[in-house]
Structure 1
Amino acid sequence: MTSGKQIGVLRRNTDFRNLWLGQSASMLGSNMTAVAVPLIASVTLSASISELGVLSAASYLPYLLVSLFVGVWVDRKPKRPIIIGADLLRGATMMLVPCAWWLDALTVPLLVGVVLLVGLCSVVADIGNASLLPALVERDDLIEGNSKLELSSSVSNIGGHSLGGVIVQALTGPVAMALNAATFVVSALFTSRIRRREPAPESTGEPGSVWKDAAEGARFVLGNPLLRVLVLATLVANFFALACEPLFLAFVTRNLDLAPTFVGVILASSGAGALIGAVLAGPMSRRMPLGRLLVFTSTAIGLASLLTPLATVVPEAAAIVLLLVMHVVNSAMVIVCNINLRAYRTSITPVELQGRMTAVVRMVVMGGAPLGAVFGGFLGDRIGVSPALVFASVGLLVAAVIIALSPVRRVTEIPGAAADPAPTADHGSAQADPVEGVPVD
């Protein structure tokens, strides 16, 4: 649980406000790009299905390939200039699309290259921002800070996807990419206004010891009993959460035969749930011990997912209501879980390890996502969509069971100091370490 400090104190923190506004702008641009790029490939370039698959995979590769090395780099250098540079490079890279379109030189391979480079910059900016936050706010304010960032993420998810589609339709995809580029320039501008000096990065050994530093970050994340449990739960939850995605789309369009309008409303309800979760995260953390909160939210996520196959045995109107409830509850609990865990991990991670810790966790999260999606499609083909959804939902509940049967359940609160690795559980040999949100982050 968190302390009783006045809620809203971060409104007076100018540096956090600039970080928040900068991240909000970049989140909006990223979500607009997530709509604009596939539409450009499909409509403007008439890309094949296999080319669209390669384009989608390109967005995951930077997280899998370079996260650890980015974490080392961020821990060695001042973070603010790195974030600014990544945002400006993202904006410049996106401008390649309208320029190539103007010169009649836009191709799918060029678009793949743009996605890869933008993805690489996004890894740098994401890890840098997550590592900079603890330097800008007090430990007791991490819940509020992460809640505000999640609120921006939720709003930009809804607005960015919607706005991206509207702009592409009204002004063409390349023009939309030019507008997206502007959001990253705005992000860099706000980040440049942060005035608080960061703690000087501690020496990490010889300049060439990148592998050694990366391994140190991995040991910090994986070398503790509590953290190992939470990483395992994260892997399980993310794997089955992504397995549900292709199954759900097939379920609502084929099994339920819902009209596209209803499908759009159901999918948009996830954003509403995320907004609710961002609002509830602080109050729930103050009323429930951290370990019990993780068990509760993980269980709620699995149980909510079971509402989807239940929709096959009720009338259409009731089915739509069930699916809306499922998306709202699922998204809200995911956000509550992630906000509290991010605050927990940053509060007990030494400053010099913030980047590497975040990088290792991001690799775990992103690594299981594509495998889960492939597994979900394979399982649906073999045993049917509804049984596969039940199987994947039960898989989500396994993550809750893992936490409930471990010492994590006894963790009471988010520690107040990053440098103190003392146990926060009632289990003498268990040492507190950082973790990532249980489902997808």
Structure 2
Amino acid sequence: MKAIILVAACAAIVGFSYGMYSPIVPVFAKEQLAADFSQVGVIGMANFLPYMLAPFFVGMMLDRTNKAFLLSAGISLNVFAIFMLSQAQSVPETVVLRGLAGVAHALFWPSSEVLVSTSTTLDKRVKWISIFIAAWIAGFMTGPLLGKVILDFFDHRVLFQLSAAAISFAIVPALLLIRHGRPIRGEESHRQMASLGDIKREFASKPVVSAVILYYAITFGVTLAIYPAYMKDASVSDQNIEILFFAFGAARFAVLPLVQKIARHGRAALAMAVIVTAAGMAISFAFSSILSFAIALMLLGIGTSIFYPVTFNLVTKDAPVEKMGSRLGIYGALFGSGWTAGPVAVGLSSDAFGPGSPYLAFFIIGALLASAIALKKSS
């Protein structure tokens, strides 16, 4: 219980910092660095690429070392990467710094997941992971409000500096987790990284979950890495972008009390999350007002809140505790591949076919995926 509270405290602080600055990074790239959508996509890809590659190694490390050390390392690296972003003068510099922030997140997030997973029983896992996510979302929801106030008086670079200062406070609860993060007996013997055969077996045994995770990762990555630039292109101000991301976070937070009940429906819940997300993408394509962006982001927030706890439970429910890190590493890498591919693909297609075209594609893909899930469930 104490361990989960400390992990939740870390999540709230880190989420708050992310909420302050991350919606503005694509806007900063376009306005301050004269980046086009393709370059904004590359910056987003750099941020998410480490999360595609690192989970295999991080998962193995989590099974045999103190999880709190990795958690603290992720937070410390984030402080450095966010602060240095305030000094960036070019797209290549920003790409490197977003890559460092991605490495930091690849250390922070799996460490938090495994600490929650190994500190609770299977029947309580959805409840506690929901509390962990609630803390993260509460931070991410309120961060943009302070970000908006800061942007009323200062520029993007000061916002990044203050965000780095905010995230540094998470080191305190992370260090207090050291005694809770020691490897569980049996973890030390599980030292081999997952093989290609293990990965294929995992994805083959859970094709629906794998497909949903990939769709969720791509759309979520695009929402964070490209969508703010898309709104800016539609003449939405920086301050209103922050407020719209508050609405995104508020929708995520509002759904969380229902997640345990929704999770009982398994694949039906996944289909619901996909179709809600697809609806948000359709609105994003068809309309470009502040109201339509607010509705779209709220739908995306609802879908996200359903996606994560349900897929997390389906992935971990049959995993032995000594292999929890490796199992989460495999699916974390799948999530990371979607995060990585989504922004760069959408950036390129936005420049080639128009800024709204990717959102129409996401609507069509989501509708087809939700239909496939429903048909598979009924067959």
Shift of the 355–221 alpha-carbon distance from structure 1 to 2, 3 Å rule, reads: farther
Contact 1:233 1:403 survives alignment (8 Å): no
Aligned counterpart, 2:2 = 14
SS of match in other structure, 1:49? coil
Shift of the 343–183 alpha-carbon distance from structure 1 to 2, 3 Å rule, reads: farther
Aligned counterpart, 1:275 = 253
Is 167-176 or 341-350 further displaced after alignment?
Answer: 167-176
**1:5-404 correspondence runs (5 A):** 13-34=1-22, 46-49=32-35, 55-92=43-80, 94=82, 107-108=89-90, 112-164=95-147, 166-167=149-150, 170=153, 176-194=159-177, 195-196=179-180, 198-200=183-185, 201-204=187-190, 213-215=193-195, 219=198, 222-223=201-202, 225-236=204-215, 238-239=217-218, 260=237, 268-285=246-263, 288-308=264-284, 311=287, 324-376=294-346, 389-404=359-374
Shift of the 365–110 alpha-carbon distance from structure 1 to 2, 3 Å rule, reads: same
Question: How much has 1:77 moved relative to structure 2?
Answer: 1.5
SS of match in other structure, 1:204? coil
Question: How much has 1:251 moved relative to structure 2?
Answer: 8.1
Shift of the 90–377 alpha-carbon distance from structure 1 to 2, 3 Å rule, reads: closer
Question: How much has 1:178 moved relative to structure 2?
Answer: 4.6
TM-score, normalising length from structure 1? Answer: 0.69
Shift of the 63–259 alpha-carbon distance from structure 1 to 2, 3 Å rule, reads: closer
Q: Which amino acid aligns with 1:343?
A: N
Question: How much has 1:336 moved relative to structure 2?
Answer: 1.6
SS of match in other structure, 1:70? helix
Alignment RMSD: 4.0
Shift of the 33–381 alpha-carbon distance from structure 1 to 2, 3 Å rule, reads: closer
Contact 1:75 1:356 survives alignment (8 Å): yes
Question: How much has 1:268 moved relative to structure 2?
Answer: 4.2
> Between Structure 1 and Structure 2, whose CA radius of gyration is higher?
1
Q: Which amino acid aligns with 1:328?
A: M
Contact 1:71 1:358 survives alignment (8 Å): yes
Contact 1:221 1:360 survives alignment (8 Å): no
Question: How much has 1:323 moved relative to structure 2?
Answer: 5.0
SS of match in other structure, 2:316? helix
Contact 1:239 1:372 survives alignment (8 Å): yes
SS of match in other structure, 2:189? coil
Question: How much has 1:136 moved relative to structure 2?
Answer: 1.5
Question: How much has 1:331 moved relative to structure 2?
Answer: 1.8
Shift of the 97–377 alpha-carbon distance from structure 1 to 2, 3 Å rule, reads: closer
Question: How much has 1:171 moved relative to structure 2?
Answer: 5.4
Tell me the alpha carbon deviations over residues 384-419 of structure 1, each in whole angstroms, 9 at most, x when there is no partner.
Answer: 67776444312112222332343xx38xxxxxxxxx
Aligned partners of 1:384 and 1:92: how far apart in 2? 35
Contact 2:15 2:138 survives alignment (8 Å): no
Aligned partners of 1:96 and 1:259: how far apart in 2? 27
Is 237-246 or 139-148 further displaced after alignment?
Answer: 237-246
Aligned partners of 1:27 and 1:368: how far apart in 2? 21
Q: Which amino acid aligns with 1:82?
A: L
Question: How much has 1:19 moved relative to structure 2?
Answer: 1.1
TM-score, normalising length from structure 2? Answer: 0.79
Contact 1:247 1:385 survives alignment (8 Å): no
Shift of the 384–365 alpha-carbon distance from structure 1 to 2, 3 Å rule, reads: same
Aligned partners of 1:351 and 1:325: how far apart in 2? 40
Tell me the alpha carbon deviations over residues 71-124 of structure 1, each in whole angstroms, 9 at most, x when there is no partner.
Answer: 2222222212221233234335555578xx6xxxx6546655443333212211
SS of match in other structure, 1:203? coil
Question: How much has 1:291 moved relative to structure 2?
Answer: 2.5
- Alignment length (residue pairs): 372
Contact 2:47 2:100 survives alignment (8 Å): no
Contact 2:65 2:183 survives alignment (8 Å): no
Aligned partners of 1:276 and 1:328: how far apart in 2? 10
Q: List runs of 5+ in structure 2 lacking aligned partners.
A: none
Aligned counterpart, 1:437 = none
Shift of the 248–20 alpha-carbon distance from structure 1 to 2, 3 Å rule, reads: closer
Aligned partners of 1:373 and 1:270: how far apart in 2? 19
Aligned counterpart, 1:316 = none
Shift of the 241–57 alpha-carbon distance from structure 1 to 2, 3 Å rule, reads: closer
Question: How much has 1:150 moved relative to structure 2?
Answer: 2.2
